[in-house]
Amino acid sequence: MIKFKLIAGISLSLLLARWKQTLVAAIGVTFSITMFIALLSFMGGLNSLLDGLIVNRTAHVRLYNEILPSRQQPVEQSDDFKNKYAFIHSIKPRNERLEIRNSGAVIAAIRKDPRVVGIAPKVTTQVFYNVGSIELMGVVNGIDPEAENRLFAFSEYVTTGNFMDLKNVPNSIILGKAAAEKMLANVGDVIQVTTSNGERMSLKVVGYYQSGLQEVDKVQSYASIATTQKLLGETNSYITDIQVKLKDILQAPAMAKEYGQLFDVEAMDIQTANAQFETGSFIRTLISYAVGITLLIVAGFGIYNILNMMIYEKMDSIAILKATGFSGKDVNHIFIAIALSIGVFGGFLGLVFGFGLSAAIDQIPFNTPALPTIKTYPVDYNPNFYIIATVFSILTTYFAGYFPSRKASRIDPVIIIRGK
Protein backbone atom coordinates (compact mmCIF):
# COMPACT_ATOMS: atom_id res chain seq x y z
CA MET A 1 0.00 0.00 0.00
CA ILE A 2 2.76 2.41 1.00
CA LYS A 3 4.60 1.38 -2.15
CA PHE A 4 1.57 2.13 -4.27
CA LYS A 5 1.27 5.53 -2.64
CA LEU A 6 4.95 6.23 -3.26
CA ILE A 7 4.74 5.32 -6.97
CA ALA A 8 1.54 7.32 -7.36
CA GLY A 9 3.12 10.30 -5.60
CA ILE A 10 6.18 10.29 -7.85
CA SER A 11 3.98 9.93 -10.96
CA LEU A 12 1.82 12.83 -9.87
CA SER A 13 4.83 15.06 -9.24
CA LEU A 14 6.34 14.31 -12.64
CA LEU A 15 2.96 14.88 -14.23
CA LEU A 16 2.42 18.22 -12.50
CA ALA A 17 5.97 19.33 -13.32
CA ARG A 18 4.98 19.14 -16.98
CA TRP A 19 1.33 19.99 -16.53
CA LYS A 20 0.96 21.96 -19.76
CA GLN A 21 2.13 19.06 -21.92
CA THR A 22 0.12 16.51 -19.99
CA LEU A 23 -2.90 18.76 -20.32
CA VAL A 24 -2.47 18.82 -24.08
CA ALA A 25 -2.24 15.04 -24.09
CA ALA A 26 -5.33 14.77 -21.90
CA ILE A 27 -7.21 17.19 -24.16
CA GLY A 28 -6.34 14.92 -27.08
CA VAL A 29 -7.94 12.00 -25.30
CA THR A 30 -10.91 14.12 -24.21
CA PHE A 31 -11.48 15.31 -27.75
CA SER A 32 -11.33 11.86 -29.25
CA ILE A 33 -13.63 10.34 -26.62
CA THR A 34 -16.07 13.24 -27.01
CA MET A 35 -16.19 12.79 -30.77
CA PHE A 36 -16.37 9.00 -30.42
CA ILE A 37 -19.42 9.22 -28.15
CA ALA A 38 -21.14 11.97 -30.11
CA LEU A 39 -20.53 10.24 -33.42
CA LEU A 40 -21.75 6.85 -32.26
CA SER A 41 -24.75 8.28 -30.40
CA PHE A 42 -25.80 10.28 -33.45
CA MET A 43 -25.16 7.41 -35.83
CA GLY A 44 -26.97 5.03 -33.48
CA GLY A 45 -29.93 7.40 -33.27
CA LEU A 46 -30.03 7.72 -37.03
CA ASN A 47 -29.81 3.97 -37.47
CA SER A 48 -32.63 3.23 -35.08
CA LEU A 49 -34.70 5.99 -36.73
CA LEU A 50 -34.20 4.50 -40.18
CA ASP A 51 -34.70 0.97 -38.91
CA GLY A 52 -37.76 2.18 -37.07
CA LEU A 53 -39.22 3.45 -40.33
CA ILE A 54 -39.50 -0.15 -41.43
CA VAL A 55 -38.79 -2.44 -38.51
CA ASN A 56 -41.17 -0.99 -35.94
CA ARG A 57 -43.97 -0.90 -38.43
CA THR A 58 -43.43 -4.32 -39.87
CA ALA A 59 -44.48 -7.60 -38.39
CA HIS A 60 -41.59 -9.76 -37.28
CA VAL A 61 -43.36 -12.71 -38.82
CA ARG A 62 -46.20 -12.26 -41.26
CA LEU A 63 -48.53 -15.14 -42.14
CA TYR A 64 -50.46 -14.88 -45.37
CA ASN A 65 -51.61 -16.82 -48.41
CA GLU A 66 -50.19 -16.09 -51.78
CA ILE A 67 -51.43 -16.98 -55.22
CA LEU A 68 -48.81 -19.53 -56.26
CA PRO A 69 -48.64 -22.63 -58.39
CA SER A 70 -48.92 -25.86 -56.40
CA ARG A 71 -45.58 -27.00 -55.13
CA GLN A 72 -46.49 -30.59 -55.96
CA GLN A 73 -48.01 -31.11 -59.36
CA PRO A 74 -50.46 -34.02 -59.76
CA VAL A 75 -48.09 -35.90 -62.04
CA GLU A 76 -45.54 -36.09 -59.26
CA GLN A 77 -48.04 -37.75 -56.97
CA SER A 78 -48.80 -40.55 -59.38
CA ASP A 79 -47.10 -43.91 -58.77
CA ASP A 80 -46.85 -44.54 -62.52
CA PHE A 81 -44.29 -41.79 -62.93
CA LYS A 82 -42.13 -42.43 -59.96
CA ASN A 83 -38.38 -42.08 -60.66
CA LYS A 84 -39.14 -40.17 -63.82
CA TYR A 85 -38.56 -36.59 -64.74
CA ALA A 86 -41.64 -34.59 -65.59
CA PHE A 87 -41.38 -31.52 -67.81
CA ILE A 88 -44.56 -29.50 -67.41
CA HIS A 89 -45.24 -26.38 -69.42
CA SER A 90 -47.62 -23.52 -68.77
CA ILE A 91 -48.29 -24.15 -65.12
CA LYS A 92 -50.91 -21.76 -63.78
CA PRO A 93 -51.32 -20.72 -60.19
CA ARG A 94 -53.92 -22.70 -58.36
CA ASN A 95 -57.19 -21.06 -57.62
CA GLU A 96 -56.93 -20.28 -53.98
CA ARG A 97 -58.50 -17.76 -51.66
CA LEU A 98 -56.30 -15.24 -49.94
CA GLU A 99 -58.02 -16.04 -46.69
CA ILE A 100 -56.08 -17.81 -43.96
CA ARG A 101 -57.98 -20.99 -43.28
CA ASN A 102 -59.23 -21.56 -39.76
CA SER A 103 -57.86 -18.18 -38.73
CA GLY A 104 -59.49 -18.20 -35.29
CA ALA A 105 -57.67 -21.37 -34.25
CA VAL A 106 -54.37 -20.15 -35.74
CA ILE A 107 -54.61 -16.87 -33.81
CA ALA A 108 -55.45 -18.68 -30.57
CA ALA A 109 -52.48 -21.04 -31.04
CA ILE A 110 -49.99 -18.24 -31.70
CA ARG A 111 -51.28 -16.22 -28.73
CA LYS A 112 -50.33 -19.12 -26.47
CA ASP A 113 -46.73 -19.13 -27.76
CA PRO A 114 -44.46 -17.70 -25.03
CA ARG A 115 -42.03 -16.22 -27.59
CA VAL A 116 -44.72 -13.90 -28.95
CA VAL A 117 -45.39 -10.37 -27.72
CA GLY A 118 -48.67 -10.04 -29.54
CA ILE A 119 -50.46 -10.47 -32.82
CA ALA A 120 -52.52 -8.20 -35.02
CA PRO A 121 -54.83 -9.71 -37.63
CA LYS A 122 -55.38 -7.82 -40.85
CA VAL A 123 -57.52 -7.91 -43.97
CA THR A 124 -55.88 -6.40 -47.02
CA THR A 125 -57.70 -5.72 -50.23
CA GLN A 126 -57.18 -3.78 -53.41
CA VAL A 127 -59.70 -1.03 -54.11
CA PHE A 128 -60.32 1.94 -56.34
CA TYR A 129 -60.98 5.32 -54.82
CA ASN A 130 -63.69 7.00 -56.87
CA VAL A 131 -63.13 10.70 -57.39
CA GLY A 132 -65.84 11.88 -59.72
CA SER A 133 -65.31 9.83 -62.85
CA ILE A 134 -61.68 9.09 -62.06
CA GLU A 135 -60.61 5.91 -60.31
CA LEU A 136 -57.44 5.84 -58.25
CA MET A 137 -55.70 2.62 -57.26
CA GLY A 138 -55.51 1.96 -53.57
CA VAL A 139 -55.17 -0.63 -50.86
CA VAL A 140 -57.40 -0.80 -47.81
CA ASN A 141 -55.90 -2.42 -44.73
CA GLY A 142 -58.52 -3.69 -42.33
CA ILE A 143 -56.87 -3.57 -38.91
CA ASP A 144 -57.59 -3.89 -35.24
CA PRO A 145 -56.61 -0.30 -34.26
CA GLU A 146 -55.73 -1.14 -30.65
CA ALA A 147 -53.51 -4.11 -31.47
CA GLU A 148 -51.96 -2.24 -34.39
CA ASN A 149 -51.11 0.72 -32.18
CA ARG A 150 -49.77 -1.40 -29.33
CA LEU A 151 -47.50 -3.50 -31.56
CA PHE A 152 -46.62 -1.20 -34.45
CA ALA A 153 -47.06 2.34 -33.07
CA PHE A 154 -49.89 3.05 -35.47
CA SER A 155 -50.92 6.32 -33.77
CA GLU A 156 -47.48 7.86 -34.49
CA TYR A 157 -48.26 7.86 -38.18
CA VAL A 158 -51.81 9.16 -37.94
CA THR A 159 -50.95 12.84 -38.33
CA THR A 160 -54.53 14.15 -38.36
CA GLY A 161 -57.49 12.68 -36.50
CA ASN A 162 -57.68 10.00 -33.85
CA PHE A 163 -56.82 6.45 -34.84
CA MET A 164 -59.42 5.06 -32.41
CA ASP A 165 -62.16 6.61 -34.59
CA LEU A 166 -61.68 3.65 -36.90
CA LYS A 167 -63.30 1.57 -34.19
CA ASN A 168 -65.71 4.17 -32.83
CA VAL A 169 -67.10 5.60 -36.09
CA PRO A 170 -68.85 3.03 -38.31
CA ASN A 171 -67.72 2.81 -41.94
CA SER A 172 -64.72 5.05 -41.40
CA ILE A 173 -61.35 5.25 -43.15
CA ILE A 174 -57.95 6.84 -42.51
CA LEU A 175 -56.47 7.86 -45.85
CA GLY A 176 -52.85 8.07 -46.81
CA LYS A 177 -51.89 11.74 -46.81
CA ALA A 178 -50.81 11.79 -50.45
CA ALA A 179 -53.93 9.93 -51.56
CA ALA A 180 -56.14 12.34 -49.60
CA GLU A 181 -54.43 15.34 -51.23
CA LYS A 182 -55.03 13.84 -54.66
CA MET A 183 -58.70 13.29 -53.89
CA LEU A 184 -59.05 16.66 -52.14
CA ALA A 185 -60.67 14.73 -49.30
CA ASN A 186 -60.81 16.50 -45.93
CA VAL A 187 -61.48 14.92 -42.57
CA GLY A 188 -65.23 14.47 -42.25
CA ASP A 189 -65.76 14.00 -46.01
CA VAL A 190 -67.31 10.83 -47.38
CA ILE A 191 -65.48 9.05 -50.20
CA GLN A 192 -66.51 6.21 -52.47
CA VAL A 193 -64.46 3.06 -52.88
CA THR A 194 -64.95 0.17 -55.28
CA THR A 195 -63.55 -3.30 -54.68
CA SER A 196 -62.20 -5.60 -57.37
CA ASN A 197 -65.48 -7.52 -57.19
CA GLY A 198 -67.38 -4.37 -58.12
CA GLU A 199 -68.82 -3.72 -54.67
CA ARG A 200 -69.18 -0.05 -53.92
CA MET A 201 -69.22 1.56 -50.51
CA SER A 202 -69.19 5.02 -48.91
CA LEU A 203 -66.59 5.59 -46.19
CA LYS A 204 -66.13 8.57 -43.91
CA VAL A 205 -62.61 10.04 -43.69
CA VAL A 206 -61.61 10.30 -40.00
CA GLY A 207 -57.88 11.03 -40.36
CA TYR A 208 -54.71 11.06 -42.42
CA TYR A 209 -51.91 8.61 -42.34
CA GLN A 210 -48.33 9.56 -43.17
CA SER A 211 -45.58 6.96 -43.16
CA GLY A 212 -42.86 9.13 -44.63
CA LEU A 213 -42.64 6.97 -47.73
CA GLN A 214 -44.47 8.88 -50.46
CA GLU A 215 -45.22 5.82 -52.57
CA VAL A 216 -46.86 4.13 -49.60
CA ASP A 217 -48.92 7.19 -48.65
CA LYS A 218 -50.31 7.42 -52.16
CA VAL A 219 -52.07 4.07 -51.98
CA GLN A 220 -52.41 2.85 -48.41
CA SER A 221 -55.44 3.56 -46.28
CA TYR A 222 -56.77 2.00 -43.10
CA ALA A 223 -60.18 0.86 -41.98
CA SER A 224 -61.35 -1.46 -39.23
CA ILE A 225 -61.41 -5.20 -39.87
CA ALA A 226 -65.21 -5.28 -39.72
CA THR A 227 -65.57 -2.45 -42.25
CA THR A 228 -63.18 -4.16 -44.66
CA GLN A 229 -64.94 -7.51 -44.28
CA LYS A 230 -68.21 -5.75 -45.05
CA LEU A 231 -66.61 -4.09 -48.08
CA LEU A 232 -65.57 -7.50 -49.37
CA GLY A 233 -68.84 -9.16 -48.42
CA GLU A 234 -67.04 -11.71 -46.31
CA THR A 235 -67.81 -13.24 -42.93
CA ASN A 236 -66.16 -12.01 -39.74
CA SER A 237 -63.68 -14.89 -39.75
CA TYR A 238 -62.10 -13.67 -43.00
CA ILE A 239 -58.48 -12.69 -42.29
CA THR A 240 -55.79 -12.37 -44.95
CA ASP A 241 -52.74 -11.56 -42.80
CA ILE A 242 -51.64 -12.38 -39.30
CA GLN A 243 -48.86 -10.10 -38.08
CA VAL A 244 -46.81 -11.50 -35.23
CA LYS A 245 -44.46 -9.47 -33.05
CA LEU A 246 -41.79 -11.48 -31.25
CA LYS A 247 -39.88 -10.92 -28.04
CA ASP A 248 -36.60 -11.65 -29.84
CA ILE A 249 -36.47 -10.37 -33.39
CA LEU A 250 -33.51 -12.65 -34.15
CA GLN A 251 -35.75 -15.70 -33.82
CA ALA A 252 -37.97 -14.48 -36.65
CA PRO A 253 -36.50 -16.59 -39.49
CA ALA A 254 -36.70 -19.82 -37.48
CA MET A 255 -40.20 -19.11 -36.26
CA ALA A 256 -41.43 -18.09 -39.70
CA LYS A 257 -40.34 -21.48 -40.97
CA GLU A 258 -41.98 -23.24 -38.05
CA TYR A 259 -45.32 -21.40 -38.41
CA GLY A 260 -45.30 -21.85 -42.16
CA GLN A 261 -45.12 -25.62 -41.77
CA LEU A 262 -47.46 -25.81 -38.79
CA PHE A 263 -50.31 -23.75 -40.22
CA ASP A 264 -49.67 -24.47 -43.92
CA VAL A 265 -49.43 -20.81 -44.93
CA GLU A 266 -46.78 -18.52 -46.36
CA ALA A 267 -44.67 -17.02 -43.57
CA MET A 268 -42.28 -14.12 -44.12
CA ASP A 269 -39.76 -13.03 -41.51
CA ILE A 270 -38.63 -9.43 -41.17
CA GLN A 271 -34.98 -10.15 -41.97
CA THR A 272 -35.85 -11.61 -45.34
CA ALA A 273 -38.38 -8.88 -46.10
CA ASN A 274 -35.98 -6.04 -45.25
CA ALA A 275 -32.51 -7.41 -45.83
CA GLN A 276 -31.19 -4.12 -47.20
CA PHE A 277 -31.89 -2.24 -43.97
CA GLU A 278 -29.87 -4.68 -41.92
CA THR A 279 -26.90 -4.22 -44.27
CA GLY A 280 -27.23 -0.43 -44.25
CA SER A 281 -27.28 -0.25 -40.46
CA PHE A 282 -24.32 -2.57 -40.18
CA ILE A 283 -22.16 -0.56 -42.59
CA ARG A 284 -23.03 2.76 -40.92
CA THR A 285 -22.18 1.38 -37.49
CA LEU A 286 -18.93 -0.07 -38.81
CA ILE A 287 -17.87 3.27 -40.29
CA SER A 288 -18.61 5.20 -37.11
CA TYR A 289 -16.66 2.72 -34.99
CA ALA A 290 -13.74 2.90 -37.42
CA VAL A 291 -13.64 6.71 -37.27
CA GLY A 292 -14.00 6.74 -33.48
CA ILE A 293 -11.23 4.22 -32.92
CA THR A 294 -8.96 6.07 -35.34
CA LEU A 295 -9.41 9.23 -33.26
CA LEU A 296 -8.46 7.30 -30.13
CA ILE A 297 -5.35 5.84 -31.71
CA VAL A 298 -4.24 9.32 -32.81
CA ALA A 299 -4.69 10.50 -29.22
CA GLY A 300 -2.62 7.50 -28.17
CA PHE A 301 0.28 8.70 -30.33
CA GLY A 302 0.05 12.09 -28.62
CA ILE A 303 0.48 10.42 -25.25
CA TYR A 304 3.32 8.32 -26.60
CA ASN A 305 5.19 11.45 -27.75
CA ILE A 306 4.74 13.31 -24.53
CA LEU A 307 5.88 10.38 -22.43
CA ASN A 308 8.92 9.89 -24.63
CA MET A 309 9.81 13.55 -24.22
CA MET A 310 9.27 13.38 -20.49
CA ILE A 311 11.57 10.36 -20.24
CA TYR A 312 14.34 12.19 -22.09
CA GLU A 313 13.94 15.18 -19.81
CA LYS A 314 13.81 13.07 -16.68
CA MET A 315 16.72 10.80 -17.57
CA ASP A 316 18.66 12.07 -14.51
CA SER A 317 15.75 11.54 -12.17
CA ILE A 318 15.24 8.03 -13.47
CA ALA A 319 18.96 7.30 -13.02
CA ILE A 320 19.03 8.50 -9.43
CA LEU A 321 15.82 6.64 -8.58
CA LYS A 322 17.46 3.49 -9.86
CA ALA A 323 20.73 4.21 -8.08
CA THR A 324 18.94 4.67 -4.78
CA GLY A 325 17.11 1.40 -5.00
CA PHE A 326 14.10 1.73 -7.30
CA SER A 327 13.93 -1.28 -9.61
CA GLY A 328 13.19 -1.15 -13.33
CA LYS A 329 9.71 -2.39 -12.50
CA ASP A 330 9.08 0.59 -10.21
CA VAL A 331 10.20 3.02 -12.92
CA ASN A 332 8.00 1.21 -15.41
CA HIS A 333 5.02 1.51 -13.05
CA ILE A 334 5.65 5.23 -12.57
CA PHE A 335 5.40 5.96 -16.30
CA ILE A 336 2.49 3.58 -16.85
CA ALA A 337 0.71 5.39 -14.01
CA ILE A 338 1.34 8.73 -15.74
CA ALA A 339 -0.05 7.41 -19.02
CA LEU A 340 -3.07 5.86 -17.36
CA SER A 341 -3.90 8.96 -15.36
CA ILE A 342 -3.83 11.00 -18.58
CA GLY A 343 -6.12 8.37 -20.11
CA VAL A 344 -8.51 8.16 -17.17
CA PHE A 345 -8.71 11.92 -16.61
CA GLY A 346 -8.99 12.78 -20.31
CA GLY A 347 -11.35 9.87 -20.91
CA PHE A 348 -13.66 10.82 -18.06
CA LEU A 349 -13.91 14.41 -19.31
CA GLY A 350 -14.49 12.99 -22.78
CA LEU A 351 -17.44 10.94 -21.50
CA VAL A 352 -18.95 14.05 -19.89
CA PHE A 353 -18.40 16.24 -22.98
CA GLY A 354 -19.55 13.43 -25.25
CA PHE A 355 -22.80 13.20 -23.33
CA GLY A 356 -23.11 16.99 -23.51
CA LEU A 357 -22.49 17.09 -27.24
CA SER A 358 -25.01 14.27 -27.83
CA ALA A 359 -27.56 16.18 -25.75
CA ALA A 360 -26.84 19.31 -27.82
CA ILE A 361 -27.33 17.41 -31.09
CA ASP A 362 -30.56 16.09 -29.61
CA GLN A 363 -31.80 19.70 -29.33
CA ILE A 364 -31.11 20.73 -32.95
CA PRO A 365 -34.43 21.01 -34.81
CA PHE A 366 -34.83 18.48 -37.59
CA ASN A 367 -38.12 18.82 -39.41
CA THR A 368 -38.81 16.85 -42.50
CA PRO A 369 -42.17 16.04 -44.03
CA ALA A 370 -40.99 12.50 -44.58
CA LEU A 371 -40.69 11.87 -40.83
CA PRO A 372 -43.67 13.41 -39.09
CA THR A 373 -42.81 12.11 -35.61
CA ILE A 374 -39.24 13.48 -35.58
CA LYS A 375 -38.71 17.03 -34.33
CA THR A 376 -34.96 17.02 -33.52
CA TYR A 377 -31.94 15.05 -34.67
CA PRO A 378 -32.14 11.53 -33.30
CA VAL A 379 -29.59 10.49 -30.67
CA ASP A 380 -29.15 7.08 -29.12
CA TYR A 381 -27.93 7.30 -25.51
CA ASN A 382 -26.68 3.75 -25.50
CA PRO A 383 -24.60 3.02 -22.36
CA ASN A 384 -22.57 0.54 -24.44
CA PHE A 385 -20.94 3.44 -26.31
CA TYR A 386 -19.74 4.86 -23.01
CA ILE A 387 -18.42 1.50 -21.86
CA ILE A 388 -16.57 0.94 -25.15
CA ALA A 389 -15.13 4.48 -25.01
CA THR A 390 -13.90 3.94 -21.44
CA VAL A 391 -12.30 0.60 -22.24
CA PHE A 392 -10.66 1.97 -25.38
CA SER A 393 -9.33 5.12 -23.75
CA ILE A 394 -7.69 3.05 -21.03
CA LEU A 395 -6.37 0.47 -23.50
CA THR A 396 -4.87 2.99 -25.94
CA THR A 397 -3.26 5.06 -23.19
CA TYR A 398 -1.88 1.90 -21.62
CA PHE A 399 -0.27 0.84 -24.89
CA ALA A 400 0.89 4.41 -25.59
CA GLY A 401 2.57 4.32 -22.17
CA TYR A 402 3.85 0.77 -22.46
CA PHE A 403 6.78 1.33 -24.81
CA PRO A 404 8.12 4.57 -23.31
CA SER A 405 7.80 2.99 -19.85
CA ARG A 406 9.71 -0.04 -20.93
CA LYS A 407 12.41 2.21 -22.31
CA ALA A 408 12.54 4.16 -19.05
CA SER A 409 12.80 0.97 -17.01
CA ARG A 410 15.81 -0.13 -19.06
CA ILE A 411 17.77 3.09 -18.63
CA ASP A 412 21.21 2.23 -17.28
CA PRO A 413 22.00 4.65 -14.44
CA VAL A 414 25.74 4.15 -14.94
CA ILE A 415 25.68 5.70 -18.41
CA ILE A 416 23.78 8.76 -17.21
CA ILE A 417 25.90 9.31 -14.12
CA ARG A 418 29.18 8.68 -15.91
CA GLY A 419 28.14 11.10 -18.64
CA LYS A 420 28.01 14.07 -16.26
Interface contacts to other proteins, rule CB under 8 A: 2-3, 6, 10, 13-14, 16-17, 316-317, 319-330, 412-414, 417-418, 420
Q: Which is nearer to other proteins, 323 or 387 (CB)?
A: 323
| Residue closer to other proteins, measured from CB, 215 or 412 | 412
Closest CB 44 distance from other proteins, rounded Å: 44
What's the min distance (Å) between Cβ of 325 and other proteins?
2
Closest CB 6 distance from other proteins, rounded Å: 5
CB of 9 to other proteins, least distance (A): 8
Dihedral of the CA atoms 216, 92, 70, 89 (nearest 10)?
-130
Q: How far is the CB of 249 from other proteins (least distance, A)?
A: 56
Residue closer to other proteins (CB basis): 260 or 413 = 413
Q: Which alpha helices (DSSP H) does 202-274 contain, by range?
A: 214-219, 225-232, 252-263, 270-273
Cβ nearer to other proteins, comparing 11 with 221: 11
Q: Which is nearer to other proteins, 193 or 318 (CB)?
A: 318
Q: Least CB distance from residue 418 to other proteins, whole Å?
A: 7
Rounded Cα gap, residues 60 and 242, in angstroms: 11
Dist CA 305 CA 303 (whole Å)? 5
Residue type, 46: L
| Of residues 52 and 328, the one with the C-beta less far from other proteins | 328
CB of 13 to other proteins, least distance (A): 4
Q: Which is nearer to other proteins, 245 or 333 (CB)?
A: 333
Q: How far is the CB of 338 from other proteins (least distance, A)?
A: 12
Residue with smaller CB distance to other proteins, 84 or 418: 418
Selection from 21, 46, 6, 14 nearest residue 287 by Cα: 46
144 CA to centre of own chain? 26
| Positive or negative: CA dihedral 176, 163, 256, 234 | negative
Task: Tell me the closest approach of the beta carbon of residue 307 to other proteins, in angstroms.
Answer: 16
Q: Which one, 253 or 328, has the nearer CB to other proteins?
A: 328
Burial of 20 (0-12, 13-18, 19+ CB in 10 A): exposed
Nearest to 62 by CA among 225, 221, 275, 245: 245
Q: Strand, helix or coil at 101?
A: coil
Dist CA 33 CA 296 (whole Å) = 7
Cα–Cα distance, 112 to 116 (Å, whole number): 8
- For the bound state, the minimum distance from the C-beta of residue 275 to other proteins, rounded and expressed in Å, comes to 60
* Cβ-based nearer residue to other proteins, 41 or 317: 317
Nearest to 146 by CA among 170, 171, 160, 165: 165
Cα–Cα distance measured from residue 104 to residue 395, given in angstroms and rounded to the nearest whole number: 58
Q: Which residues are bridge partners to 131 per DSSP?
A: 134
In sequence order, which residues have a C-beta less than 8 Å from that of residue 173 and are 6 or more positions away? 140, 166, 191, 193, 203, 204, 205, 206, 221, 222, 223, 227
Q: At what angle do helices 19-54 and 383-409 cross, to 10 degrees?
A: 150
| Residue 52: Cβ within 10 Å count | 16
